[in-house]
């Protein structure tokens, strides 16, 4: 990391929660342009920017703890140097609990809600007494391997457990030309672009003809510099035969990796959740595999939703056994204030929620280990992300079926005379498979 000069604003950032938050942070920092210099601690900073998550209780608790830590560190700086960094807290937690937070944390200098996102650059620049630089590229925080392309904001679904519509508002898409231009800029810096949105398959539904995921895929996949294209948050109802056909036509760079947030498998629970796809989820899995037999599937499930019986849970376990997902995230249900599900009868005890989560993750661990073991002895293309801290010559990378942060990684050993380029895709002979990670040699 280059050191900022005396004329720059030293900025320490923490972006919590989902990749969509990270993009918001990168866009804000990009508007500070040459005035911004990144540093690695609160004690070095002129500006401390914390972009928060408030989606569920654990995320809220993490955000509050992070803010309190920054307040403490800033007070120590003030005590020792007489200089207090500007504390700026942004994002979902602010939109959800803003007034209460302002009362409890007067030490924070600037609060930025998601409703004011278009004003974030001006508000931050004013507080720092610097100028906003318009039409500047994002300040990427993900390194040379990958970057996120955020295609939409908010959500217009009415899932009864979810706080996103009340925090982020209804679904709003960025214009397709804007996104393709941004993707072209990103492809000059990274090897992989990862499309994200609360529901990526709903992209463009609010903009009319010519703005849809099929059109966006065609445009982004046509960028010559792009090597990998991954799409996250593919809602089941939007995975139509038409879309799957377009995706199949654009391999490569499109990776046959399908992140499908199913949330449950039993139709009674899905209906109670108010999911937009409340029918048999096996149908969408079969549809995907009819176009992509080799597809790597990822999903998330909620266990312990109000009214979930042992029979419902066993149905979910059977579905996981049959489907054999590459990757699986499991979350115990949290009764969030203001959601319809929080007021429902038949709330499941926390102890049972945790037991069900552990049982499902134990089942998935065995499935994951079996799937990964099939790659032993094979050669896979691996995107090199960073050198490992364990020993020289060891790198951390990802195979095509591994998304950053949410999936496992591939450890790559290179001979002493070979220095791998970060962001490059190299052929790796896989020697060992663990439960979630792979190891191999160049």
Binding site for [4Fe-4S] cluster: what residues are annotated?
Answer: 18, 53, 92, 155, 159, 162
Rounded CA-CA distance 32/311 in Å is 54
**Binding site residues, as ranges?**
18, 53, 92, 155, 159, 162
Q: Are 320 and 357 in contact (CB under 8 A)?
A: no
Q: Which two tokens stand for residue 262?
A: 């199913």
Handedness of CA 246, 252, 254, 257 (dihedral sign): positive
- What are 36's strand-pairing partners? 9
Nearest to 253 by CA among 223, 232, 233: 223
Quote the Cα angle for 298-302-306, to 5°.
160
The structure tokens 């924070």 sit at: 108
Q: Which two tokens stand for residue 253?
A: 């760079």
DSSP state of 348: P
Rounded CA-CA distance 208/154 in Å is 17
Instruction: Kindly report the backbone phi and psi dihedral angles of residue 134, in degrees, each rounded to the nearest multiple of 5, phi listed first.
Output: -80, 155
Rounded CA-CA distance 211/209 in Å is 6
Instruction: Kindly report the backbone phi and psi dihedral angles of residue 60, in degrees, each rounded to the nearest multiple of 5, phi listed first.
Output: -60, -45
């Amino acid at each position: 990391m280059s050191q900022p000069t005396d004329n720059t604003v030293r900025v320490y950032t923490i972006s919590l929660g989902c990749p969509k938050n990270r993009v918001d942070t990168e866009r804000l920092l990009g508007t500070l342009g040459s005035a911004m210099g990144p540093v690695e601690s609160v004690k070095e900073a002129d500006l401390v920017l914390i972009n928060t998550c408030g989606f569920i209780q654990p995320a809220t608790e993490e955000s509050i703890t992070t803010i309190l830590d920054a307040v403490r560190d800033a007070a120590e700086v003030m005590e020792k140097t007489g200089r207090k960094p500007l504390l700026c807290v942004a994002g979902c937690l602010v939109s959800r609990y803003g007034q209460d937070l302002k009362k409890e944390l007067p030490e924070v200098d600037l609060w930025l809600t998601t409703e004011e996102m278009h004003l974030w650059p001006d508000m931050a620049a004013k507080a720092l007494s610097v100028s906003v630089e318009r039409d500047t590229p994002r300040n990427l925080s993900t390194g040379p391997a990958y970057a996120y392309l955020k295609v939409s904001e908010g959500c217009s679904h009415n899932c009864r457990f979810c706080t996103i519509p009340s925090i982020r508002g209804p679904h709003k898409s960025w214009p397709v030309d804007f996104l393709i231009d941004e993707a072209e800029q990103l492809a000059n810096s990274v090897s992989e672009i990862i499309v994200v949105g609360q529901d990526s398959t709903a992209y463009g539904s609010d903009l009319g003809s010519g703005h849809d995921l099929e059109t966006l895929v065609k445009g982004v996949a046509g960028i010559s510099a792009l090597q990998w294209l991954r799409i996250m948050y593919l809602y089941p109802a939007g995975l139509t035969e038409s879309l799957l056909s377009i995706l199949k036509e654009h391999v490569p760079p499109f990776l046959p990796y399908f992140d499908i947030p199913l949330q449950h498998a039993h139709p009674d629970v899905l209906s109670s959740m108010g999911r937009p796809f409340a029918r048999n989820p096996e149908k969408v899995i079969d549809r995907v595999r009819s176009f992509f037999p080799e597809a790597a599937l990822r999903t998330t499930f909620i266990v312990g939703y109000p009214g979930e019986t042992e029979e419902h849970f066993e149905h979910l376990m059977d579905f996981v056994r049959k489907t054999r997902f590459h990757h699986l995230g499991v979350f115990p249900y949290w009764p969030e204030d203001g959601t319809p599900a929080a007021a429902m009868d038949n709330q499941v005890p926390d102890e049972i929620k945790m037991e069900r989560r552990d049982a499902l993750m134990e089942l998935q661990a065995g499935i994951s280990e079996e799937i990964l073991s099939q790659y032993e002895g094979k050669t896979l293309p691996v995107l090199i992300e960073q050198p490992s801290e364990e020993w020289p010559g060891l790198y951390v990378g990802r195979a095509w079926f591994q998304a950053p942060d949410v999936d496992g990684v591939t450890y790559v050993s290179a001979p002493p005379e070979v220095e791998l380029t970060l962001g490059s895709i190299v052929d790796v002979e896989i020697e060992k498979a663990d439960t979630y990670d792979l190891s191999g040699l160049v």
